[in-house]
Amino acid sequence: MLKKILGVALVAAVSVSSSIASDKINGAGASFPAPLYYDWAFNYKKETKNLVNYQSIGSGGGIKQITKRIVDFGASDKPLDSKKLGAAKLLQFPAVIGSIVVAFNVDGIADETLKLSNDVVADIFAGKITSWNDPKIAANNSGLKLPNQKIIVVHRSDGSGTTYNFTYYLSGSSQNWKNSFGTGKAVDWAVGIGGKGNEGVANLVKQTPYSIGYIENAYKEKNNLSAAILKTANGKWVKATEDNFKAAAKYASWTKEDNFYAMLALQPGDTSYPIVAATFILLPTETPAMNKKVTEFYDYAFKNGDASAKKLGYIPLPEATKKMIREYWAANIK
């Protein structure tokens, strides 16, 4: 279904007539929300004839392209603080909430059966745990037959907001990770192979036996991958489910004054999934006419796109947050 939506969007981009070219909106950035943006854009064009052309190039690329004014809007899973927004003359607001899962491909181990504590996840991606039957993994998985096979780590090869949120989670889970690698859109990985975008990582995990990688939940669902059970910040085991994503998302605290800057990983609560993240839209301050077109699209999505978001595994923004965003638009786009 997602391939069909994307295909239609690309065909529309090629065949759009000159009579509606002025209504075309170009955006680029995060792969994290791309399946949802394609769906929203498909329905928006069907109802309004206006085209939203979105390119999934990673958050780093989205920030670069909007900073250079190559596109009409950028998209990033890494929020920018007010100082950086001011320097680049950008506005920022969240569009939807998603979750990052630790996906794996190990024959004989099913979805939602493998338990990986957060410090163990950090040690795997740091190259300290290298075998699937390592004692630290076996300690929490007594009922599973863990193979004596090398773990193949898969990570992002491009600048990525997904990586930023994942490494933020790892830094909060492991002092070794924090000291050795830290948090960033790109880090110096100790081990592993790189894939471009969530799409690339998901494909590599799917095709590579004994692999493990981090991807947005929609890509896990689309590719029928398995995800590990992780631990909440409170130390409780928690599955990658909609209810557990929502349990973490409810702790989001947005303010217009901070341009909605917020990190949502490792929230409190016994059922709060530990790697939840919002994804953001970036707009130039000097293009109010185009900004109004972009926000009309997102206003349409806020009013009509919640069902699509839920179907694809995302968490829609609360109505109170949507109201706050509309107030932000009114105050900053004139």
- For the chain, give the mean pLDDT: 93
Helix (H) or strand (E) holding 96: strand 90-105
Sign of CA pseudo-dihedral 232, 236, 237, 240? negative
Question: pLDDT tens-digit profile of 18-66?
Answer: 333 447 999 999 999 999 999 999 999 999 999 999 999 999 999 999 9
CB contact set of 87 (below 8 Å; sequence gap of 6+): none
Q: Would the pLDDT of 2 be above 90? A: no
User: First CA to last CA across the chain, in angstroms?
Assistant: 38
Instruction: Give the CATH H-level superfamily of domain 2-6+24-96+253-262+279-332.
Output: Periplasmic binding protein-like II (3.40.190.10)
| pTM of the model as a whole | 0.88
> How many angstroms separate the most distant Cα atoms in the chain?
65
Task: Note the pLDDT of residue 186.
Answer: 95
d(CA 88, CA 162): 22
CATH classification code of 100-249: 3.40.190.10
Task: Note the pLDDT of residue 9.
Answer: 42
Mean pLDDT of 79-96: 97
Question: pLDDT tens-digit profile of 141-172?
Answer: 998 999 999 999 999 999 899 999 999 999 99
Amino acid at 62: G
Please, which pLDDT band fits residue 4 given cuts at 50, 70 and 90? very low
Q: At what angle do helices 118-125 and 161-173 cross, to 10 degrees?
A: 120
Amino acid at 19: S
Residues of the chain with CATH 3.40.190.10: 2-6+24-96+253-262+279-332, 100-249
